[in-house]
Amino acid sequence: MGEIKIYKKIEFINPVMIAGWPGMGSVASGVVSYLIKKLGAVKFAEITIDPLAMLDSVKVEDGLATLPPPPQNAFYYSKKPELIIFEGEVQMTGQEAVALLRKVLGFASQCKVRTIYTGAAFPLPVSHKEEPQVYGAANKKAIVPVFSRFRITPMDGGHISGLNGLILGFAKDSDIDAMCLLATIPQYAISLPNPKASFAIIEVLQKMLGIRIDMLEMKEYIRDMDEKMAMIEDKVKDVLTIDKGEHLTPAPANKDKVPAYIVDKIEKLFLDAKNDRAKAIVLKEELDRWDLYYMYEDRFLDLFKGKQ
């Protein structure tokens, strides 16, 4: 992991940080990018990345292949309110993810940040017509009672994949309060942007932080996506069952219907996770994406036996 490059020195008093990386439904990245735009937040620092560290493909345009630029990990600031917004361009795993989180949290401490908010998607068997519900997870027990004041449902159990979840655990070690707000999205559309879920999280953040954001542009984006979601939902009805409450229930997963290359990819991820437990995050995401976790659950849990 590279160094932190500071473009403008800011004297912060008591800032709050909102951080986000890409994930299911582009929920967290949708939150931070919209806040940066509507608050007129200015980039004042970034974490440099080794151009060769994250390479797994080349960029091709008009038949010409070139190496892509390294992903950006930038810090933005807003004076009113006093916010630091961190935007990560890609998800990282393993030691690279750990190194990045330590850089982010170390810089947050230098900037006097005491609280960090992140966002994520909460996939459920629901229709796109339903309004997203917001769940919450915090890294300290004392924070959880705050959720009820803002109609946030504490997450009963499960996992929050990727850096949007991992930062909670690492922030606790840095003595920084952190919480992740998760908005529900349809399970069948986890690969599509879901501005409605991002909207729900921003609405909660406005109440929690006492800020006002112009949401008109996002409302227009939501209308456009709702039309696309309606067409997609109509097409997938042959593999989904709909009850009277408009909830969508996925058809039972069948390993035989999963493409062979995905099964091979899962086997490779198991081997990777066996050698590096941090890579189990990527494995879990792939199993969830294909609704196969229950078939591999025992084998997945075996990865963690004897490694406490």
Cα 126 from chain centroid (whole Å): 19
Torsion sign over Cα 219, 224, 225, 230: positive
**For the segment 157-202, what is each residue's pLDDT rounded down to a tens digit?**
888 989 999 999 999 999 999 999 999 998 888 889 999 999 999 9
DSSP state of 51: T
**For the segment 70-122, what is each residue's pLDDT rounded down to a tens digit?**
889 999 999 888 999 999 998 888 888 999 999 999 999 999 999 999 999 99
Mean per-residue pLDDT over the chain, rounded: 87
**For the segment 71-84, what is each residue's pLDDT rounded down to a tens digit?**
899 999 998 889 99
Q: In the predicted model, is pLDDT for residue 233 greater than 90?
A: no
**Three-state secondary-structure class, residue 194:** coil
Nearest Cα to Cα of residue 198 among 41, 18, 48: 18
Q: In the predicted model, is pLDDT for residue 252 greater than 60?
A: no
Q: In the predicted model, is pLDDT for residue 303 greater than 50?
A: yes
Mean pLDDT of 255-281: 76
**Where do the structural domains in the chain lie, given as residue ranges?**
11-225, 255-302
If DSSP states are collapsed to H, E and C, what string results for 216-244? HHHHHHHHHHHHHHHHHHHHHHHHEEECC
Cα(87)–Cα(84) distance, integer angstroms: 10
pLDDT of residue 1: 64
Cα pseudo-dihedral 124, 182, 255, 282, rounded to 10:
180
Compare 301 and 205 and report the one with higher pLDDT: 205
**Three-state secondary-structure class, residue 207:** helix
Q: In the predicted model, is pLDDT for residue 130 greater than 60?
A: yes
Rg (CA), the chain: 20
**For the segment 7-31, what is each residue's pLDDT rounded down to a tens digit?**
999 999 999 999 999 999 999 999 9
Cα(239)–Cα(125) distance, integer angstroms: 12
pLDDT of residue 139: 96
Q: How is domain 11-225 classified at the architecture level of CATH?
A: 3-Layer(aba) Sandwich (3.40)
Q: In the predicted model, is pLDDT for residue 235 greater than 70?
A: yes
Give pTM, 2 decimals: 0.76
Residues 6+ apart with CB under 8 A from 241: 248, 249, 251
Compare 132 and 302 and report the one with higher pLDDT: 132
Q: Are strands 177-186 and 134-138 parallel, antiparallel or unpaired?
A: antiparallel
